[in-house]
Amino acid sequence: MFYFTLMICFVAAILLTPIVKKIAFKIGATDKPEQRKVHQGIMPRLGGLSIYLSFIIGVMIIHPSESFHIPILIGSFVIIITGMIDDIKDISAKYKLAGQIIAAFIVVIWGDMKVEFINLPFGGDLDFGPLSIPLTMLWIIGVTNAINLIDGLDGLAAGVSSIALLTIAGMAVVMGNTYVVLIALIVAVSSLGFLFYNFYPAKIFMGDVGSQFLGYIIGVLSLLGFKNITFISLIIPIIILGVPISDTFFAIIRRLINKQPISAPDKSHLHHCLLRSGFTHRQAVLLIYGMSIIFGLAAFIFSQATVWGSLIVIAVLLLVIELFVEQVGLVREDYKPLLNLIKGIKPLNLKSKG
């Protein structure tokens, strides 16, 4: 029955997307080309609505009974309404944030999903106390915006989100968390169905309604799958979401360095940097897909490693991320401390040999 449900969700997304496309044009939910965008013509957005509707069809069929399921549905509905208004009216960042805060508050308080403590790797635990609610909400809001920020190329957010959801589902299978497996796979196949129209060259964009919904669901599911166990389990969702989190983190660093507001848009995100480096639109998307898969595999390795092995995995990932960031100019074109250090070591080695 479950596999049949997944097939229905996949087909539903394919069938609903053209209908949503017509609605988007009719109500003016379109994206016009501008200096910061990479597309040339007027494009319909609101495509994420087909992902959401397919998800709703799926949960109506399987009908989960967990206590936190209804809060998740209500929170996701708040996110959908916020995203739809933004896709139609282009509301300011503060109103989008308000919608995200309400959605996160619903699932954290009503669904009782707050992260209250973590067990530290070398003994003892860290109790968050009264900070557990704001920290949990911050995670959900942060992931929501991280997915929203990478939605800059055709098929990018849908593909990266699908990879993250499949990874979360795989980890949930190992941990025996049936609910997370069900919801993650339903949203993943709905996103893959939408990709039929969203992959390059896209016929419709998912819009904020899609990227915020996917980010919200990923943020919530990662909490359900990995909360309140160990420090190691807290790191797993961060690794799974390595691409959008890294892009968001370095976007914040970049804007602080350039003395710009953190919410200020720019054209220096990961996908922009890859395009400037000479990659085609399709190549840039596929490369980021590959990076997401590598992060997913790293999360599996990390989860099975010893404490010291986990620390080595983190160190290697951080080193690789830093080198890549410097190579593509994600922070700034002249930001290359590690690459300059490596270049400086080579001549020294040659001189010492001479």
- pLDDT tens for each residue of 246-295: 888 888 888 888 777 776 777 777 887 888 888 888 888 999 999 999 98
208 annotated to a ligand binding site: yes
Note the pTM of the prediction, 2 decimals.
Answer: 0.87
Average pLDDT rounded to a whole number, residues 153-166: 92
Q: Which residues contact 200 (CB under 8 A, 6 or more apart)?
A: 153, 154, 155, 281, 282, 285
Per-residue pLDDT at 32: 74
Confidence of residue 216 (pLDDT cuts 50, 70, 90): very high
Beta strands in the chain (DSSP E): 30-31, 43-44, 117-119, 125-127
Query: Contact at 8 Å (CB) between 86 and 29?
Result: no
Confidence of residue 9 (pLDDT cuts 50, 70, 90): very high
Confidence of residue 38 (pLDDT cuts 50, 70, 90): low
230 pLDDT above the threshold of 60: no
Per-residue pLDDT at 97: 93
Is the model more confident about 338 or about 145?
A: 145
Query: Contact at 8 Å (CB) between 24 and 77?
Result: no
Average pLDDT rounded to a whole number, residues 320-344: 80
C-alpha to C-alpha distance for 145 and 142, rounded to whole angstroms: 5
35 pLDDT above the threshold of 60: no
